[in-house]
Amino acid sequence: MILIGIGGNLASPVGDPMTTGKAALARLGVVGVACLACSPWYESTPVPPSDQPWFINAVAQVSTALGPAELLAALHGVEDEFGRQRAVANAARTLDFDLLAYGDLVREEPPLLPHPRLHQRAFVLLPLRDLVPAWRHPVFGLTPAELIERLPPGADLGAIVRNAQIARPRPPIEL
């Protein structure tokens, strides 16, 4: 099972971050990557905390004949097509793809697998739990729900909202 994370918090030439994420998933087919399933979309605060706009995040299960390094290069190519800039670490971005897991493969050289911070990120674990609840982390042997239970007390799960399109604040209704 190959799993990728999708995120973004800036508009791209095709639209808002959720529109961009969905368009980018569709674009993967052109580079030999088929999207088999996608989690619900979540809205989350930036990590590390900053005054950036909130992120839209999801996890997708994909299929490809590409190896891990080639897949990561293809993901980066699609990011570039959607206006991703890499000038500053943790900067706001139009699109962010992360290679989370490639089967049960464990790699200690780039691309590192599974993603080295996957188990620390609620914005990955919550959609992962929705998409593949029985999946087990190749190193820790734990499911997404078990990894969520082990998040540190400071993990702000309350700042993550499922179904981001619906959950955004709306202006008050005038009567």
Number of domains in the chain: 1
Supply the pTM of this predicted model. 0.88
Confidence at 158, pLDDT banded by 50, 70, 90: low
Question: What CATH number is attached to the domain comprising 42?
Answer: 3.30.70.560
Residue 101's pLDDT is 98
Residue 123 inside a domain? The answer is yes
Residue 172 inside a domain? The answer is no
Residue 173 inside a domain? The answer is no
Residue 159's pLDDT is 60
Q: Taking all residues of the chain, what is their mean pLDDT, rounded to a whole number?
A: 88
Q: What percent of the chain has pLDDT over 70?
A: 87
- Give 55-102 pLDDT, tens digit per residue: 999 999 999 999 999 999 999 999 999 988 887 777 888 999 999 999
Residue 118's pLDDT is 94
The phi and psi torsions of 157 (rounded to 5 degrees) equal -65, -25
Residue 20 inside a domain? The answer is yes
- Cα torsion for 112, 135, 161, 84, to the nearest 10°? 30
Give Cβ neighbours of residue 19 (< 8 Å, ≥ 6 apart).
12
- Domain limits at 106? 2-167
